[in-house]
């Protein structure tokens, strides 16, 4: 096994995230309905499944070459640990379980480095689940070698990892097994034109476009996992395609004003729309179920 703990890189909860201030405004939300919102906004409902509630522990496997990337790992985990106390996250609480349970706050519980125990070239997405199970069984993610059924597992590939669907079919995705739910995020810099949003392609708020783009990808996938962890809650099946919460405010026909809302340009000409502590991020908006529009806060 090529696993190692990140130790000091696992942090306690940080200061809350806040919407970027208007005095630095550079673009604004167009307040138009997106294609999916126009079709399904009025009928979107929980089809009977559970949401992830209470405290939701997040477990991260940084896979591949991360030996020179501790600052990038720190930035990524800072966002996850701080986002739950924000107005952006509050919008997610509209998406309850049938019993009224609210989506739970996120907590980075553990993170490990795996230098490539299952190789660096993936041709089958099933390997993603196996890598996560390997990390759990090793004891690095769980001292009892047990899966957390209410947790979220993240497999974040380094820049030396290739995946048959990454950069072609997706930049990241979420899924589940019978035991757990997870997301895969490839290293956005591997195909920057495809996986890094144009507005942060050259200059990003944390001076690392790949990690800032990974946060943007995470902000999409976590909407789906919290509201529809097992593909039976907040979702719509349409012609063999599953539509989830994160899809309402993203897509090829969605303008930037709807996808990212009100954005701000900082002194380094980097674009962001949320802040946490002394760091800034670009996140996807969330579909406000009450007001039927994509928002950064509700």
Question: Taking all residues of the chain, what is their mean pLDDT, rounded to a whole number?
Answer: 90
Residue 294: pLDDT above 50?
yes
Return phi, psi of residue 92, to 5°: -65, -25
Q: Which residue has the tokens 């509700």?
A: 298
Sequence-ordered list of residues with C-beta below 8 angstroms from that of 49, at least 6 positions apart, any chain: 97, 228, 229, 230, 231, 232, 233, 234
Provide the whole-model pTM: 0.90
pLDDT digits (tens, 9 = 90+) for 188-197: 999 999 999 9
Q: Which residue has the tokens 């019978």?
A: 178
Are 141 and 181 a contacting pair, CB within 8 Å?
no
Residue of 232, 263, 256, 234 whose CA lies nearest to 246: 234
**In angstroms, what is the C-alpha Rg of the chain?**
18
Check residue 267 and give its pLDDT.
93
Whole-number Å distance between alpha carbons of 255 and 101: 33
Helices (H), the chain: 35-40, 70-82, 87-90, 126-138, 192-195, 209-227, 256-259
For the chain, helix (H) and strand (E) counts, in that order, are: 7, 18
Sequence-ordered list of residues with C-beta below 8 angstroms from that of 4, at least 6 positions apart, any chain: 112, 113, 140
pLDDT-derived band at 25 (thresholds 50, 70, 90) equals very low
Question: What is the DSSP code string of 142-179?
Answer: -TT----TT-EEEEEE-TT-EESSBTTTBSEEEEE-SS
pLDDT-derived band at 252 (thresholds 50, 70, 90) equals confident
């Amino acid at each position: 096994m090529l696993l190692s703990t990140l130790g000091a890189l696992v942090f306690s909860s940080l200061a809350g995230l806040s919407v970027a201030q208007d005095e630095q405004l550079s673009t604004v939300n167009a307040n138009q309905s997106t294609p999916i919102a126009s079709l399904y906004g009025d009928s979107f409902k929980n089809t009977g499944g559970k949401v992830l509630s209470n405290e939701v522990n997040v477990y991260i496997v940084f896979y591949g070459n991360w030996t020179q990337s501790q600052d990038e790992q720190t930035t990524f985990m800072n966002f996850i640990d701080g986002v739950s106390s924000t107005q952006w996250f509050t919008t997610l609480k509209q998406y309850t379980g049938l019993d009224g349970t609210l989506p739970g706050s996120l907590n980075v519980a553990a993170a490990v480095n795996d230098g490539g125990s299952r190789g660096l070239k993936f041709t089958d997405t099933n390997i993603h689940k196996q890598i996560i199970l390997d990390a759990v069984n090793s004891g690095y993610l769980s001292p009892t070698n047990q899966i957390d059924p209410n947790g979220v597992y993240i497999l974040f590939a380094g820049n030396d990892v290739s995946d048959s669907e990454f950069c072609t079919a997706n930049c990241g995705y979420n899924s589940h097994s019978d035991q757990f739910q997870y997301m895969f995020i490839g290293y956005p810099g591997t195909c920057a034109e495809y996986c890094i949003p144009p507005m942060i392609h050259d200059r990003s708020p944390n001076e690392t476009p790949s990690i800032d783009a990974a946060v943007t990808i995470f902000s999409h996938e976590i909407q789906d996992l919290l509201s529809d962890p097992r593909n039976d809650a907040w979702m719509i099946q349409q012609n063999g395609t599953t539509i989830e919460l994160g899809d309402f405010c993203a897509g090829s026909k969605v303008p930037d004003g709807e996808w990212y809302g009100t954005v701000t340009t900082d002194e380094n000409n980097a674009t962001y729309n949320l802040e946490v502590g002394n760091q800034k991020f670009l996140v996807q908006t969330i579909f406000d179920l009450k007001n039927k529009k994509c928002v950064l806060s509700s």
